[in-house]
Homo-oligomer: A and B are copies of this chain.
Amino acid sequence: MGGLSIGQVAERTGLSVHALRFYEREGLLADAVRRESNGRRVYTEDDVDWLNMCIKFRSSGMPLDTIRKYTELVRQGAGNEADRLALLKSHQDYVRAQIEELNECLNVITWKVDFYQEHVDAGTADCLWATPSTQTASEAS
């Protein structure tokens, strides 16, 4: 393993090469990416690991800004572990809240799905309700 090209990293992480360059510009990479003599980026496996963590952060709704802050803390080196912990904990809370909220939404949606499922199963699939007003009333509830 003698370093990866941007294309290879894109393939492994699922990020586009554009996104990889963008993330770098935005300061989301813990280590400066090395370059070949011709200016091309050379990534290490550590870079890929770091990116995969960024992806987890992102897909759990952490803004790039916060990822950047975390990255800066790590770049500063030892001594700020409490700060990193605080940042991570706060995000942990946020993710938990998101999950809770999604579960509530899921309940509502499931209730509606079941409602429609029953009626679609029962009838032969159309004209189940007589009047538009009945319709709206059951919809809105």
B105 touches A74 (CB 8 A): no
Copies in the assembly, this chain: 2
Instruction: Find residues 13-65 in chain A having any chain B CB closer than 8 Å to their own CB.
Output: 30-31, 46, 49-50, 53, 56-57, 59-60
For A31, the chain B residues whose CB sits under 8 A away are 136
Nearest CB on B from A62, distance (A) = 9
Known: A46-B136, A77-B135, A127-B78. A105 touches B60 (CB 8 A): yes
Q: Which 10 A-B pairs have the closest CB atoms?
A: A60-B105, A85-B116, A49-B140, A46-B140, A79-B126, A77-B132, A56-B105, A78-B129, A88-B113, A56-B108
Instruction: Find residues 122-136 in chain A having any chain B CB closer than 8 Å to their own CB.
Output: 123, 125-130, 132, 135-136
Q: Please, what's the 1-or-0 string for A79-109, where 1 marks a CB less than 8 Å from any CB in chain B? A: 1111011001101100110110111111011
C-alpha spacing A80/B128, complex, angstroms: 10
A78 touches B126 (CB 8 A): yes
Option from B59, B102, B139 in Cβ contact (under 8 Å) with A105 = B59
A8 part of interface (Cβ distance < 8 Å) = no
